[in-house]
Structure 1
């Protein structure tokens, strides 16, 4: 991932967190991740997570809408560990579990006990080969089901806290500004057609570091599915992973996606909120550059009209054009989508 040890650690931590969140969302439906920062976090009218001892604490507070409870999550990873596929638990998982003991959680009614998941990755590279593996590890917790009303209140509170964390990157101060009715005047309409990105459109390599991710066709290859199945079978005889994810791959989407988003442009030079005419001009310029394969560019956005209290949807659109889930953050490859800024004044 980089030449120096400092950058290798930095990139490993960055990508490890992406991978951990993807695993937790794809397999368990967990969402609304909020960083716990150094001392914890307080979600107004909901849960408070506070540090109670020295040492690292978990990475995130999140929400499991299926179980209707909060979740503490920790990302771990290693390039050199040889205990991922051995009997017992990897050392980094034990370290992650210990971090859960360094926080105390309460809500307005007293102590609460969120679920506690460690998502760990064992990396493999061309130079340091080995069996790549990912683990999801769930230490047991005491959990009593709550009423739908209480669950709805917690869901809305953590969704607003999640939107508070995203709003500045989209050009707004907080969730209240992001959710205001007048935001419709700043929305971008996105249309994404089904279909993978052809191999000939992969980003060219720069030195030894390719800019492109593995193509969707490669990721769905038979050999990749064999590796995933072998790793899962080695780790556990229980049905931990969704069977369809392991054995079948994901077929192309049957129809196009069209929706409105409050969005931001992401390029190698940074993040630019899309709010006015000059932003739209830059968005179209970036799209032209991306389509000529001169500069990678993505569009990220929150769907217009998001309801913080609504149940988290399993409806996922995922193809070459991007990834979008109802009521959740969406990411699009700017090369593969049509954009319409009819709501933004271009005068």
Structure 2
């Protein structure tokens, strides 16, 4: 099933000031929570954790929902996708956030926690992955998948390497060493980024894709904010991080070569062109997506991720409270909040299906 084009009119770009205000202030949430329907309010406490990529979205959603729903308490800890899934399987998280769907070996373990039901992969947040760098005097750096694969596997070690120069004609590249930064914790962002790298020639990238970083070299940083902080403070670094964190930290972002041979700047429109080629590969209420990292769509930015909520279709003792909160996050009103937070709303064709799946939680 092809996705419909996403309406990105609200714009995915985010100023640092707006992001910090939305996520860090004690002021009323965007819209004052007025778009939360009181009919969906359910009192109770939910313990959730996982993806740090969706932290800013969760912060805003929780603020809005709790502001309108007396007795509702949602605690979301951005421990990383791997830790979130582990917590769900271990029964210490009522639902978890993950930047990739459950793996084949994880699915039965997660299903076992859902008495009489199954663990669903519900896409909730669309977030492009920016390739960020700290290189004074170099704007609009252009990078392809093979080049990124060599950089992040420690095969290219200096910024003025001929391979980098060949893709950046006229740029004044320094002879300084490259310091590649990767996630130290298990992360769906890493999983999605390495999926993109794995589409390069096998000679360039031999490490497949996984939540845990496997390639040699580089330095690790914990969670998305740790990666952004490391790049911001260290000249010569390069890494990958969600757009909201890149913009919050005012980091330089590279143009990435897509399957059409274009070096594409990361914008709402370019990310949307990549998302529209995704397919739903889950069955029933499970909505696992398959993204095309080699999209040949003209003007498409190829490195995007979709954050899922991993939740029981039925059998959870917190089913009513979870259903109430996710009814809001999957609503048109909830999704509209994302445009001002460095994310993008789900395509309507998918959003409506997520909303229907949430309505079936029991």
TM-score by length of 1: 0.23
- The higher-RCO structure (CA 8 Å, 6+ apart) is 2
Which structure features the higher share of strand residues?
1
TM-score (norm 2): 0.22
